[in-house]
Amino acid sequence: MPDFSPSSSRPPQVGRRTLLGAAAAATAAPVVLGSASRAAAVPAPRKKPRALPGGGDLGPNVLVFDPSTPGIQARLDEVFRQQESAQFGTGRYALLFKPGTYSGLNAQLGFYTSIAGLGLSPDDTTINGDVTVDAGWFNGNATQNFWRSAENLALVPANGTNRWAVAQAAPFRRMHVRGGLNLAPSGYGWASGGYIADSRIDGQIGPYSQQQWYTRDSAIGSWLNGVWNMVFSGVEGAPAQSFPNPPYTTLATTPISREKPFLYLQGSEYRVFLPEKRTNARGVTWGNGTPRGTSLPLTQFYVARPGVSAATLNQALEQGLHLLLTPGIYHLSEPLRINRANTVVLGLGYATLIPDGGVTAVKVADVDGVRLAGFLVDAGPVNSPTLLEIGPRGASRDHSANPTTVQDVFIRIGGAGPGKATTSMVVNSRHTIIDHTWVWRADHGDGVGWETNRADYGVVVNGDDVLATGLFVEHFNKYDVQWFGQRGRTIFFQNEKAYDAPNQAAIQNGSTKGYAAYRVGDAVTSHEGWGLGSYCYYNVDPTIVQHHGFAAPVRPDVRFHNLLVVSLGGQGQYECVINDTGSPTSGTSTVPSTVVSYP
């Protein structure tokens, strides 16, 4: 996203987003027993660390309301004033509402702010009012409304329609809107989103200027329009398949899904609900009241607070505790090592992990049923070979009955300061589900430049039978996605090639002009993708040519449906869509070139 200055009173310079409108502590020390001579002869036993407690207070940045809480609106407004334009700030907040009915509220959400109900069903917590995302801070441009979320609430919008004008990393999950939903900012300015799952929108969803969107396992009254790439899977009321005009990709069901874990109250006790896996899913999980799944008491979680060491977090994991990361920033001197099946790591309020000294932030063993959800990994200034690893190299166990899920886990390289990582996310474990991620090499903010925040690869999938639902990966120096596992599937992909390539030579890939946004390995015999888009905006050198957005071996079981590439205002060009197939993008018209079916 181009670095438009929000402080300017003038409209941003013509760039990628302009064209959207035009297009529509530590282990204890050893204790020595006995005499000095004995101590010299016999190694002293190491005292076992004191067991860490489970449960506890959620900390100062988790604000919990009930219908009798005084001054709710004033507190919401205070958080919004702090977070509205703090795109790369350090503030993190979770706004939690106990079951009941609230009236006359307008919860405006800024950066790193999550709002959620604490019932088992969205209908347990009703706000007669709105949960609003708009773009006044950015002159009506919604394309940088990142890192905020809404979950597990029922809304009765004040004027009948709730405004949710978001960009990437802004999920709308388990929501019931008793009215319509407007995905565009006031004035219908530029917008680039987005993701809805397990939600019911009784009225119409109007994306208006949104260039792309993915909706999964939901129910909607109707859908108004599409710009470039609107994808639906398992959505009751979705528009019929019609790509490219209108640009709707519609699957009747989602092959496999398992909704994100969430915090709720049972009486006065906090618990975490773990929804069960569904196959061929369609519609919401909570339609008949209580969703299906299991739950864990908060006493089985180590409730982490910012400033805790990685050693302590790993001690908690070794004890058999799950992790609840309360809002804030966590520096890691060693990886979080998740070695136990069915471990849950759940972040609140965009809890952020920063690996120090070039370590990997999170490493997951080749075990069943790990659930990673709701946190941000921010690369540190020393290059990390990887930031997130799901399974070790060579992982081969069958996890089909109980897969690992990665949900609303976002990765950032640069932007908040210098950061580097060779590869951001590596998936080695079979049957992993990546359900909504934004993996972003920053194109604006601090610590940004072709070599300053160098990151060659976004997502690398080595495991077989991996499914991605809602895959957003942008701006990597080389390949954004490389997929080497067999029988992989992706439903919805959004990509932008790195804006800041200095010249053609910098992206030359052997004899090929540029690195594909999404590459399937030469040895893969089975792969499938639906609704995949790649955009280029080579604003440093607009003469750069990208041969194609997608690359894959030509085999009957390597199949793609509804692909597009877009040259934004002629700042660089694509020659083809996939391999040598598809028309080149032309001129400055910002019109997608599409391939409906390949091969």
Q: What is the pLDDT of residues 55-66, one digit of tens each?
A: 999 999 999 999
Q: Around Cβ 309, how many Cβ atoms within 10 Å?
A: 16
Pairing of strands 293-297, 301-304: unpaired
Q: What is the pLDDT of residues 91-116, one digit of tens each?
A: 999 999 999 999 999 999 999 999 99
- pTM of the shown model: 0.93
- C-alpha span between 405 and 344 (Å, rounded): 10
Give yes or no for residue 442 having a pLDDT over 60.
yes
- Position 46 scores a pLDDT of 65
Pairing of strands 344-355, 329-332: parallel
- Position 5 scores a pLDDT of 30
- C-alpha span between 146 and 458 (Å, rounded): 18
What is the chain's mean pLDDT, rounded? 93
Backbone angles phi, psi at 561, to 5 degrees: -130, 125
496 is catalytic: yes
Closest CA to 51 of 345, 306, 319: 319
Q: What is the pLDDT of residues 519-543, one digit of tens each?
A: 999 999 999 999 999 999 999 999 9
Beta bridge partners of 529: 490, 560
Q: What is the pLDDT of residues 502-525, one digit of tens each?
A: 999 999 999 999 999 999 999 999
Q: What is the pLDDT of residues 332-358, one digit of tens each?
A: 999 999 999 999 999 999 999 999 999
Beta bridge partners of 388: 362, 425
- Return the structure tokens found at 442: 């920053």
Give yes or no for residue 559 having a pLDDT over 50.
yes
The sheet that has 336-338: what strands, in order across it? 336-338, 362-364, 384-390, 421-427, 457-461, 481-483, 518-520, 550-551
- Position 586 scores a pLDDT of 85
- Position 501 scores a pLDDT of 98
- C-alpha span between 404 and 317 (Å, rounded): 16
- Position 3 scores a pLDDT of 34
- Position 23 scores a pLDDT of 39
- Position 470 scores a pLDDT of 98
Give yes or no for residue 576 having a pLDDT over 90.
yes
- Position 288 scores a pLDDT of 82
Q: Model confidence at 42, in pLDDT bands (50, 70, 90)?
A: low
Q: Model confidence at 48, in pLDDT bands (50, 70, 90)?
A: confident
Q: What is the pLDDT of residues 312-339, one digit of tens each?
A: 999 999 999 999 999 999 999 999 999 9
Q: On the CB side of 580, how many CA atoms lie within 13 Å of its CA?
A: 2
Give the pLDDT mean for 78-101.
98
Give the pLDDT mean for 407-424.
98
- C-alpha span between 217 and 281 (Å, rounded): 6
- CB-based contacts of 40, cutoff 8 Å, min separation 6: none
Closest CA to 370 of 350, 394, 395, 334: 395
- CB-based contacts of 48, cutoff 8 Å, min separation 6: none
Q: Where are the alpha helices (DSSP H) in 118-233?
A: none
- Position 45 scores a pLDDT of 65
- Position 587 scores a pLDDT of 85
Q: What is the DSSP track for 17-35?
A: HHHHHHT---PPPP---S-
Give me the catalytic one of 84, 151, 259, 496: 496
Q: Reduce the secondary structure of 363-421 to three states and give it as a string.
A: EECCCCCCEEEEEEEECCCCCEEEEEEECCCCCCCCCCCCCCEEEEEEEEECEECCCCE
Which DSSP letter does residue 133 get? B
Which DSSP letter does residue 585 get? P
- C-alpha span between 398 and 369 (Å, rounded): 11
Least confident among 36-40, 58-62, 78-82, 525-529? 36-40
- Are the C-beta atoms of residues 166 and 133 closer than 8 Å to each other? yes
- C-alpha span between 303 and 300 (Å, rounded): 9
- Return the structure tokens found at 392: 């070790």
Give yes or no for residue 2 having a pLDDT over 50.
no
- C-alpha span between 142 and 209 (Å, rounded): 10
Give yes or no for residue 259 having a pLDDT over 50.
yes
Give yes or no for residue 267 having a pLDDT over 90.
yes
| 599, amino acid identity | P
- CB-based contacts of 3, cutoff 8 Å, min separation 6: 443, 444, 445, 448
- C-alpha span between 566 and 343 (Å, rounded): 41
- C-alpha span between 342 and 440 (Å, rounded): 28
Q: How much of the chain, in percent, has pLDDT values that exceed 70?
A: 92
Cα distances (angstroms) measured from residue 541 to each of 534, 544, 570, 596: 18, 6, 11, 30
